[in-house]
Structure 1
């Protein structure tokens, strides 16, 4: 049963008006119905940094109640589009996106961005942004204030590409004489799909319960806690998490390589959100399961990532080119390029100075950033990073931290103390159909 509030009904009415137009770009549609200069609202996706900013007019931003309402409406809009897509009322599609531009604008007030040394010009009147939270006019006065969100994936999923609207949308809009009626929008097929999802989740929990009974009490407690967190995450209806909130949205995933065989052919837990697979190693090695894993993750509709195993004795620039030539491109939804550097990476690491190692790593990271247009991520352990990755400039790069000992939160290397971690490799003993695999947590 789905009951729409007044805001959602207003969006449904406007979507209905565009139903007969066939294929429409979501950008143009949203600019007409919500994100426009008149409403004082806009979306700016800074893809390179992987976060979204919701800009409001000053009259809204300076009024706390109006600001709160606008944030709630943004969340409701994303949820509504997600609901309509899941129930076949609309179809959202787009070609595979390669990261070419680090910024995407949804507003009739903004045009294609022009990049200068220290700012991005966003319209023909000379308005520009030189830091994420504001837009200034040509004279340098703030005309738009921003709110930074940590998770742009929901925005990207529902607001980029093109849309086709089914005439079934008219069935969602109650007639005047029955405004208070609650409508059931699930047909029998959708009901069965929902029931099967619930049954699958219950089966998964029951199966894991029996498997974990055989493990030590400590492991059992750990996995029970993990599943409680997963259940809590599934019950959490929040779509977007503000950076200022104390509670962070967590999603769960695994990382794999050729050593895990055809793990993706197994029944995967419904709670999994992402899979990261090994792509390359050194200057020439390609993981022989990469192509299969990379395509399979996409078919499973999971967020995906690809990592390079860094060999310190090899040429860092050649390693970066080798990685990028193998991966070739990244979609908007994919993780940025990832480099794995740890104790086993460098065969002579104990005989090298940390500065020499850092120099090589910087060359690799800079080369990857130029090739991909995205800021890469670093995977390492607390012990290795504190010994060999000590330059504070590395804090620019998101951290994927390996820590199997900590329970509540991982130990973070000194360089990332203030910035924190992006992914936590929490365990190397996660069970999928009796296969032991790395278990990861994504922190939004």
Structure 2
């Protein structure tokens, strides 16, 4: 037993007895359990932690991009139940071998029916390959369309007239397309909607047909969810899923950006049309009277 000693605090008339060093604190309940666990239990617990980590890693990082990864490595998956397939192209695809694309290009064992082609961007820029792509698409028997990439840096009116002066649509072509993916930071939501509507109104009056709106799912629900935009055909961009979350009406679905086809170097966007080939041709300028009954029945 340790020897006791008396400690007197300076200036204070009381004393305190010191009993020597204190004993160690008793370990907690969970610590005692861990101390008595057998060795195999550590392996089981560690394996469970790893399994949970792998599950959440796959759920949040691998699963949502599975379609893209499989496509990159040649194991492509396509949305089921659609037969009318097409692509959209720009200068990013470089020089296209149109003969090879026409003769051997198929998507999910179906022929390519339509080609959307980038024409303009902003108020001054024209895609460097637009004129050749636009001409070759029609010459090789594809239903063609032209789209404008909306810029946040120039007024909508100037952009609309730039598109009109560049793109000469003919009977058999799809309606003009507005590709809108960004909102100007210096505009309110209402101002932005009015700017988009201004572009659509100017272009519609010129071509006498309602333009198609292209944007991705979340952007439409955030900025273009006003009922007035439901009057325009919708081309939705929603990648790496086998079904759409969007519940409204739509005409086109861009479902991947890593498609590969003969005649095109690198990757290309794949799209499907929500309907039959007859329905697709009914969308085109001039309609049945000028294109001919046979073209609709192919």
After TM superposition, the score normalised by the length of structure 1 is 0.42
Mapped to 1, the partners of 2:200 and 2:188 lie a distance apart of: 19
Q: Within the alignment, does 1:363 sit opposite 2:198 as a pair?
A: yes
Mapped to 1, the partners of 2:207 and 2:253 lie a distance apart of: 24
Residue-by-residue CA offset, 1:132-189 (whole Å, 9 max, x unaligned): xxxxxxxxxxxxxxxxxxxxxxxxxxxxxxxxxxxxxxxxxxxxxxxxxxxxxxxxxx
Q: Within the alignment, does 1:258 sit opposite 2:113 as a pair?
A: no
Match of 1:394 in 2: 229
**Cα–Cα, structure 1 residues 353 and 216, in superposed 2: closer, same or farther, change >3 Å?**
closer
More relative contact order in 1 or in 2 (CA 8 Å, sep 6+)? 2
Larger Rg: 2
Match of 1:353 in 2: 188
Match of 2:46 in 1: none
Instruction: Say if 1:312 and 1:360, in contact at 8 Å, map to a contact too.
Output: no
Mapped to 2, the partners of 1:273 and 1:424 lie a distance apart of: 14
Mapped to 2, the partners of 1:397 and 1:424 lie a distance apart of: 15
| Counterparts of residues 312-327 of structure 1 (less than 5 Å) | 312-327=152-167
Q: Within the alignment, does 1:338 sit opposite 2:168 as a pair?
A: no
Match of 2:150 among 292, 298, 310: 310
- Residue 267 of structure 2: SS of its match in structure 1? strand
Mapped to 2, the partners of 1:363 and 1:308 lie a distance apart of: 14
| Counterparts of residues 130-141 of structure 1 (less than 5 Å) | none
Q: Within the alignment, does 1:437 sit opposite 2:260 as a pair?
A: no
Residue-by-residue CA offset, 1:211-233 (whole Å, 9 max, x unaligned): xxxx955767962546xx6xxxx
Match of 1:55 in 2: none
Instruction: Say if 1:354 and 1:389, in contact at 8 Å, map to a contact too.
Output: no
Mapped to 2, the partners of 1:218 and 1:429 lie a distance apart of: 6
Mapped to 1, the partners of 2:131 and 2:89 lie a distance apart of: 13
Match of 1:380 in 2: 215
**Cα–Cα, structure 1 residues 393 and 377, in superposed 2: closer, same or farther, change >3 Å?**
same
Match of 1:300 in 2: 140
| Counterparts of residues 88-237 of structure 1 (less than 5 Å) | 223-225=76-78
Mapped to 1, the partners of 2:126 and 2:69 lie a distance apart of: 37
CA-atom RMSD in angstroms: 2.3
Mapped to 2, the partners of 1:425 and 1:328 lie a distance apart of: 24
- Deviating runs (4+, > 3 A) in structure 1? 215-222
For residue 342 of structure 1, report the CA deviation from its aligned partner.
Answer: 0.3
- Residue 76 of structure 2: SS of its match in structure 1? helix
Match of 1:277 among 109, 112, 117: 117
For residue 320 of structure 1, report the CA deviation from its aligned partner.
Answer: 1.2
After TM superposition, the score normalised by the length of structure 2 is 0.62
The count of corresponding residues between Structure 1 and Structure 2 is 199
Q: Within the alignment, does 1:428 sit opposite 2:267 as a pair?
A: no
Mapped to 2, the partners of 1:421 and 1:222 lie a distance apart of: 27
Instruction: Say if 1:401 and 1:410, in contact at 8 Å, map to a contact too.
Output: no
Mapped to 2, the partners of 1:221 and 1:277 lie a distance apart of: 25
For residue 410 of structure 1, report the CA deviation from its aligned partner.
Answer: 2.4
Instruction: Say if 1:255 and 1:439, in contact at 8 Å, map to a contact too.
Output: yes
**Cα–Cα, structure 1 residues 351 and 361, in superposed 2: closer, same or farther, change >3 Å?**
same
For residue 406 of structure 1, report the CA deviation from its aligned partner.
Answer: 1.6
Q: Within the alignment, does 1:410 sit opposite 2:248 as a pair?
A: no
Mapped to 1, the partners of 2:138 and 2:209 lie a distance apart of: 20
For residue 388 of structure 1, report the CA deviation from its aligned partner.
Answer: 1.5
Match of 2:16 in 1: none
Mapped to 2, the partners of 1:338 and 1:406 lie a distance apart of: 24
Instruction: Say if 1:275 and 1:303, in contact at 8 Å, map to a contact too.
Output: yes
